[in-house]
Structure 1
Amino acid sequence: MGNTQITFIGAGNMAASIIGGLCKQGLPANNINASNPDQAQLQALKNAYGINTFTDNDRAAKNADIIVLAVKPQIMRQVCEQLAPHLNGQQLIISIAAGINCSSLSRWLGTATIVRCMPNTPALIQQGVSGLYATAQVSAAQRQQAEQLLGAVGLAIWLEDEQLIDAVTAVSGSGPAYFFLLIEAMTQAGIKLGLPAETAAQLAKYTAQGASSMACQSELNATQLRQQVTSPNGTTEAAINALQAGGFNALVDTAVSSAAARSQQLAQQLSE
């Protein structure tokens, strides 16, 4: 990203993860600024990466080419309206706050050069996936910058319809919790079958990790991979049949649809 100056408004876990990813990619620490009211959080970032830190958002944003809004959705309007007089209209604004649409951000900031994204928590270990949406005012070069920035913590996928952010939230934003729940359930089932608790937990966690890695690295899709491991009249088929008889696919569909509906509700409330 060359000599691009990047400012993070908010220095929580997700911002810290992106900053760490950018530094690993070779972006000079002096090109990264972060502001936050918590001095301890800022000091931790400064100690870890050597970046510039501020308690004043306006000073942090001065001369920035990219401003990443990483504050809680509930205070986003206040932060944006205070920041607006200090923007020059040329900066790229990237929001990683859930539920705040580009229209509201544009109204509060006085600029429409905005990329909205929905990362997920595996970004904290540089294995996340983010859905990105850019307004029409974002240039091709700025789109590339946004992709590089989110790419520092995982996979970045562009959306051409902002409304699809709700679907991204439901599938990948909330998605890690679905897998954690499955790991929990598999662990408890293993314990019930007589395995020591730690052994059951390790078997469940590392099986999930291995299956995920296979799915990401294989040229086969998930259906084909499942079929490969499901021998006729075997143990896996017995388990799959039980899951399907219990309405597994329909239950997952209902769960993901419920998350998307809730995302829409929260977006309406937060963007008013």
Structure 2
Amino acid sequence: MTIFPLPAFDDNYIWIIQDKDSSSIWAVDPGMANVVLDYCHKHEKKLVGILITHHHKDHTGGVAELKQHTNCHVYGPKHLTELVTHSVEDKDLVKVFSRNFNVLATPGHTLDHLCYFSEQDEPILFSGDTLFKGGCGRIMEGTPEQMLEAMQKISDLPDHTLIYGTHEYTLANYRFALSLEPDNLSLVNSNLECQELRSKNLPTLPTKLNLEKKTNPFLRSHIEPLKIQAAQQLNEKPAKNPIDSFSQVRRAKDSFS
């Protein structure tokens, strides 16, 4: 099985899952139909399945047209009744070719957000807008408590899990992360590597969970110097409990320029 991105909009990635020696593919969060259809036409592939992480249009905008053209299966949040053919929720299983994916409910960015995790062979996670390289999604519908729980759920996965987020936000995320931890050598080095990749118009994704634990402020909101710096950026006193500390880091990012 191979996984690769099709760029869409300004900074989205539609992840394509392709099995060895197969003419079939799956797509994750296809916000644009023509990007997937053009790929299928050019490479003589057939779309047989779609995974949806949440309802935002840049993740679902192409689903209806793709269903119409391909009659593919669509897995996603149960309230998307006009789009999904198979509604899924936390702890459900989805089979993509020979791999089983566990559905993880990760509300926070949206209330319906799902991630898809497979531990077969090399563990992989399609994280949608829950976790990015160096960042996490804005809290648009959920609460800081829910988002922190989502971070903890992802943190509990194997350290070598490959994480496929849906946006190329890495350099912007790293600018904020470096404002909190300018002496974090893992962060400094990863930032340089990603600058080089982007200079060649190459994706910075996927990332690995063990790198995120060393560099991502939203998996590190328990680190005392980081907490203090985030509070200072907000002109607040450092929070005294984990949820409020996470909230301060998230709000500091929201106001960061």
The answer, yes or no, to whether TM exceeds 0.5 is: no
More helix by share: 1
Higher relative contact order (CA 8 A, sep 6+): 1
The structure with the greater share of residues assigned to strand is: 2
TM-score range, shorter chain: 0.3 to 0.5
Q: Computing the radius of gyration over CA atoms, which structure comes out larger, 1 or 2?
A: 1
